[in-house]
Structure 1
Amino acid sequence: MTMLRPQAIFLTLGALMLAACAGITPPPSEGISRAELQGQEYPEYVIGPYDELQVFVWQAPELSQQARVRPDGRISTPLVEDMVAAGKSPTELAADIEDRLTEFVRTPEVTVIVTGFSSTFDQQIRVLGEAQRPAALPYQAGMTTLDVMIAVGGLTEFAAGNRAKLIRGRDGEKQTYKLRLGDLLRKGDVTADVPLQPGDVILIPDSIF
């Protein structure tokens, strides 16, 4: 067996660190094209029930407050009652609040910040099957399969990670891709890590079947 000299080990580690700093993107998991993943756009976040919002009205602290989206998708703030928030982006909601406040305030400027995320169903990432804790997770920009698998505790001992599938819906059509979660989590193969999109479903089968 050939032994690496200490100098060679340091050179190898240095090369890996330089590659990471250079922002090199690893190739995607088999079954998903690089062009498709690199060309995806991160959609604007859509507010959902139970989200926590910070509504800030410039130069009007008495009108600024925190609000939680009710189960009916509405919020109430000073001078603005029962405003529909669910289904809107923070920018759209801010514009609607500004329109309502023009009755009371001259040229209001409103900013809405989401401080607690609940996420609507079509923006969640769902993990089903042989994960330690199958769950529906709020999507975050830049989320990858590794982020999701860490959040659900990884694979069970019976999971067939390399037979996992990613189901992605677009305009009513479903597309299925192969994932190599076993290589990613058990071998540390970062080339098996792929970006995710809102609404993605990850299915992890049992190795018995």
Structure 2
Amino acid sequence: MSSKMKNIQLLSCSSLLTIGLLIFFAFSMELQAETVQPSSTQVRVENPYLIHPGDILQISVWKEEDLQREVLVLPDGSISFPLVGQVVASGLSIEALQGSLAEALRQYIPDPVITVSATQLLGNRIYVLGQVNKPGEYLINRPVDVMQALSMSGGLTAFGAANKVKVLRRNGDKQIVFPFKYKEVTEGENLYQNILLKAGDVVIVP
């Protein structure tokens, strides 16, 4: 057999081996992808707490004894503070409100250092209604999802339509409805339904 024919055979064998390895690698990756299951313990990034009407805040300015106040966030979402007057607080994080106050006070005090803390989170309320054992209004001071809210309300009654739960959320002039299938979530399926609730959300179990 000529050396040319041998080279062709070697090249063909090498090509077949390469193709075989590529097919094996692709098949292995496919098997690996199929065995990956969504984890029910995924880390959920939690947004900072946003101030709500009804919350009580403690505000102080460093080295300014006359600028220390405990203020109530009014129904319109504003607070009143010396020198700056009315300031919008609702919808802001604590850090954002500190920045807003510092900017407003800068014309009176050079480089003011503001400290804001929430002493009572009275505006952060959710509602669980319908076929639960303890329906009503719930004050929350931490992130709460739908399952946790249902647990706080004593769970579903025997008459509750477990797969027809709804979360109502007001967004301006519109109302958004989030369907929630209790049985699916308890079985570890479609966990995306278990959303974090926001102030004013209403969970309804028909």
In structure 2, the CA distance between the partners of 1:105 and 1:99, relative to structure 1 (3 Å rule), is same
Does the aligned pair in 2 maintain the 1:167–1:175 contact within 8 Å? yes
Q: Identify the residue that residue 18 of structure 1 maps to in structure 2.
A: none
Measure the CA separation in 1 of the matches of 2:143 and 2:79.
29
Cα deviation 1:69-119 (Å, max 9, x = unaligned): 112221112222111111211111111111111122121111211121134
Q: Identify the residue that residue 46 of structure 2 maps to in structure 1.
A: 42
Structure 2 residue 106 is the aligned partner of structure 1 residue 110: no
What is the TM-score when the length of structure 2 is the normalising length? 0.60
Does the aligned pair in 2 maintain the 1:131–1:155 contact within 8 Å? yes
In structure 2, the CA distance between the partners of 1:71 and 1:113, relative to structure 1 (3 Å rule), is same
In structure 2, the CA distance between the partners of 1:177 and 1:34, relative to structure 1 (3 Å rule), is farther
Structure 2 residue 79 is the aligned partner of structure 1 residue 75: yes
In structure 2, the CA distance between the partners of 1:174 and 1:144, relative to structure 1 (3 Å rule), is closer
- Structure 2 residues not aligned, in runs of 5+: 1-36
Measure the CA separation in 1 of the matches of 2:161 and 2:51.
33
Structure 2 residue 159 is the aligned partner of structure 1 residue 159: yes
Does the aligned pair in 2 maintain the 1:144–1:196 contact within 8 Å? yes
Secondary structure (helix, strand or coil) at the match of 1:88 reads coil
Quick one: percent identity of the two aligned structures? 26
Secondary structure (helix, strand or coil) at the match of 2:66 reads helix
Matches within 5 A, 1:179-190: 179-180=182-183
- Structure 1 residues not aligned, in runs of 5+: 1-32
Secondary structure (helix, strand or coil) at the match of 2:100 reads helix
Deviation at 1:162, TM superposition (A): 3.8
Cα deviation 1:28-49 (Å, max 9, x = unaligned): xxxxx95587354212222111
Cα RMSD for the two superposed structures:
3.8
In structure 2, the CA distance between the partners of 1:140 and 1:35, relative to structure 1 (3 Å rule), is farther
Worse overlay, 146-155 or 76-85: 146-155
Measure the CA separation in 1 of the matches of 2:109 and 2:203.
48
**Aligned residues, how many?**
163
Amino acid of the structure 2 residue aligned with 1:88: L
